[in-house]
Structure 1
């Protein structure tokens, strides 16, 4: 893979103070009711979100890395809820839960007796949005709504036993894979990108390309567990159904897609400087764009390294060959 994808050949850096994060994030998650009991007994407890945050943001201020790790923890807690009844097969239930979350964000406080997800979200939103513009806050809320709609669509698919087609899958997966997390890079870095940059085709290719690579790599890691519970919302399952592939062939096809998509993202990134000139951005805006681009391009390898050290996708038995072979070829 290093010959095919040079960007994935070098291991990601780790924040020098990452050792402090584990206890901080675990204490926060326990205190908010997101992790209960022994952390090793739940996928969320085993996830080690602070390791992913420390790899994605190896040079950021530690407090900001901690905030990003808390958002990751909250997002995976929500994802776990979406994967199990009553949300797993009810689009209306997904909308009901998410509407409570969005109302709490707009209201600025959780309801009395609110579930942990709602109370923790309000806390995170206060810590994140205070110094951001109204445009950024609106953009973030729209991404949350996109996530809601993607999760609801997946729930309906499970209920009616519909396997997404290849054409349907990329957009659906992108919406259901926490798209708002990429917008958090700006407040964590203390910058904000101009809307006219975000609307350009090259920026969209970069941003969606990175999101797809992360989502599809995650699909390889989670495929065995999802297959065991009959879930078909991962790219190996989609390609296997559409093309009649066995597990090894499906994994290889996913790797091919990751290679092509990451190449598209890097090509768009290399062409960004000339576009920034045409947009007549200020020196500060160009510097902000450069910081965000670096984080985005570093994220796929950071995510792969996290997949190798996280216990989130461990099952009771040893992981199957699909996960091990596919991820080994990416490392």
Structure 2
């Protein structure tokens, strides 16, 4: 499977038709993020020899936020790098098939965030997280910080459930998979849109069904698109936690049919998200939001709706899902990459 199927959808999915813009300082961001990842021990040796080193997270950040403050885009790219480093750790024993090991790791991470410093000799993930959290949370409200922590805990629970499924060789059903994947695909990353843009959304907006349809829809599209890109690597290690594998098992499909079915689901889910976004203004009127709150909502909606195409363009230029023996793809702007 590959992502060419997603690019071929652009004729029938207007939201994917236009290539994403790129932040003008993307190349400087690359050097900054690579230096940070090396300095924190997240990337060791030649970056092109590891999936994390080849991921080029700054490109995804620069595509989601092409006009934001460069320092804020850099911060988002660091969060992406940390999240993928955590994901790589989860993909290997003992965490890959032990829910208790996932909880133990997360206990260490969450305790470090709460006390404000990593333990002596802690793994790089812990120290990097404390630094990122300090930089990000200092300008955000208590409500936002609580929401972010709850999404970290949801991520922990989703990853732990996946680990248990691997151990007992359980393939999730279609009904089980979407909410599980949403939890295991870094839901806290979407909270970071607000500090990157320097805004904060009111809680009463976030509680509405229409906002949930928009936010969850975008998260699902990104997760399922990522599933198409990572399916071959996951299948090689016997992991059935991706949408193609789930649909193939549930419907008795071959690989080509399963990929096409995933593409159809992505198109439908993206349309649901855009429909919810188009109907948001009337809801904002009913909520009687202030001018500043309406502006914040508009900025976050714009970033959310830009994310699926930005992620698709990143998948095409990232080397994260290339087989280990293959060289990284050419680093060209002409090529338009969470799990």
Per the TM alignment, residue 2 of structure 1 is displaced from its structure 2 partner at its CA by 2.5
Determine helix, strand or coil for the equivalent of 1:187.
helix
Which SS does the other structure have where 1:135 is aligned? helix
Q: Tell me if 1:298 matches 2:290.
A: no
Contact 2:58–2:74 (CA under 8 A) maintained in structure 1: yes
Kindly report which structure 2 residues correspond to 1:24-173, keeping only aligned pairs within 5 A, or say none: 24-173=32-181
Which secondary structure does the structure 2 equivalent of 1:163 belong to? coil
Query: Partner of 1:218 in structure 2?
Result: 226
Does 2:320 correspond to 1:312? yes
Instruction: After TM superposition, give the deviation of residue 3 of structure 1 in Å.
Output: 3.0
Does residue 192 (structure 1) correspond to residue 200 (structure 2)? The answer is yes
May I ask how many residue pairs the two structures share in their alignment?
320
Aligned partner of residue 290 in structure 1, secondary structure = helix
Name 2:330's counterpart in structure 1: none
Q: Distance in 2 between matches of 1:141 and 1:103?
A: 11
Provide the rounded CA distance (Å) in 1 between the counterparts of 2:97 and 2:156. Answer: 14
| Matching residue within 5, 8, 11 for 2:19 | 11
CA distance in 2 between partners of 1:318 and 1:297 (Å): 33
User: How far apart, CA to CA, are the structure 1 residues paired with 2:254 and 2:140?
Assistant: 48
Aligned mates of 2:277, 2:85 — CA distance in 1: 32
User: Any conservation in 1 of the 2:50–2:324 contact (CA below 8 Å)?
Assistant: no
Structure 1: distance between partners of 2:87 and 2:183: 12
For 2:113 and 2:214, locate their aligned partners in 1 and report how far apart those are by CA, in whole Å: 29
Superposition deviation, residue 113 in structure 1: 1.0
Contact 2:51 2:320 in 1 (8 A): yes
Task: Measure, in 1, the Cα distance between the counterparts of 2:326 and 2:125.
Answer: 31
Distance in 2, Cα, partners of 1:39 & 1:85: 22
Runs of 5+ unmatched residues, structure 1:
320-327
Q: Could you report, residue by residue, the CA deviation over 1:83-119 in whole angstroms, capped at 9, with x for unpaired residues?
A: 0011000000000000110111111111111110000
Structure 2 residue 262 is matched with structure 1 residue 254 = yes
- TM-score, scaled to structure 1: 0.95
SS at structure 1 position matched to 2:284:
helix
Where 2:95 maps in the other structure, the secondary structure is coil
Q: What's the CA shift for 1:316?
A: 4.2
By how many angstroms is 1:317 displaced?
6.1
SS at 1:95 equivalent? helix
Task: State the SS of the aligned residue for 2:11.
Answer: coil
Distance in 2 (alpha carbons) for counterparts of 1:212 and 1:142: 19
Q: The residue matched to 1:102 in structure 2 has which SS?
A: helix
Where in structure 2 are there 5+ consecutive unaligned residues? Answer: 1-8, 328-335
Between the aligned partners of 1:39 and 1:247, the Cα distance in structure 2 is 31
Post-superposition offset of 1:121: 0.1
1:324 matched to which residue of 2? none
Q: 1:272 aligns with which of 277, 280, 304?
A: 280
Give 1:4 shift: 1.6
CA distance in 1, matches of 2:68, 2:212: 24
The CA distance in 2 between the partners of 1:268 and 1:108, in whole Å, is 38
For the aligned residues, what is the CA RMSD? Answer: 1.1
Aligned position for 1:241: 249
Superposition TM-score, scaled by structure 2 size: 0.93
